[in-house]
Amino acid sequence: MRISLVFFEKSLNAGIEKEITEYKKRVEKRFGLIEYRLKEEGKRTPENQINNIIRDIKNCTICLLDQSGVEMDSIAFAKYIETHESSSKNLLFIIGPHSGFKKPIQFSIDYSISLSKMTFSHRLARLLLYEQVYRAYTIITGHPYHK
């Protein structure tokens, strides 16, 4: 199974990138990880950029990280990932642009997950997602990290 992440970020923060890299290293043998870093550009809307990526990824569930999405605990998130892994279905997570998406969203979403009712910066949301993917990995494999 491959986990892909689409995110919009103008510049990367070295401290947060170091933490993200550590979590990615821990899970990359189990999950193929691919990132698509996009920038908000005038002529190319975020929706158009995401549609181009979606066309290239086959057999995937598209999951939007959104404050109004379904809240789940770490064990439920691990089950969500494990279900996709056992069905050989890829996961594509999307962290939207800073300006948000036009309503209705112009691409198909299969699921929407909320990391929290709180609002986080895009950088922090990305770090939280990778930590939760690692935590899901440890839950699935019975590693004591989760406890």
- Predicted confidence at residue 137, as pLDDT, reads 96
- Predicted confidence at residue 12, as pLDDT, reads 87
Picking from 31-35, 37-41, 64-68, 98-102, which range would have the lowest pLDDT averaged per residue?
98-102
- Average pLDDT value over all residues in the chain: 90
The more confident residue out of 11 and 115 is 115
pLDDT, tens digit, 9 for 90 and up, residues 17-54? 999 999 999 999 899 999 999 988 777 888 888 988 98
Among 69, 124, 67, 97, residue whose Cα is nearest residue 7: 97
At residue 114 the predicted structure's pLDDT band, cuts being 50, 70 and 90, is: very high
- Predicted confidence at residue 113, as pLDDT, reads 95
**∠139-18-61 over CA atoms, to 5°?**
50
For 137, the enclosing helix (H) or strand (E) is helix 122-141
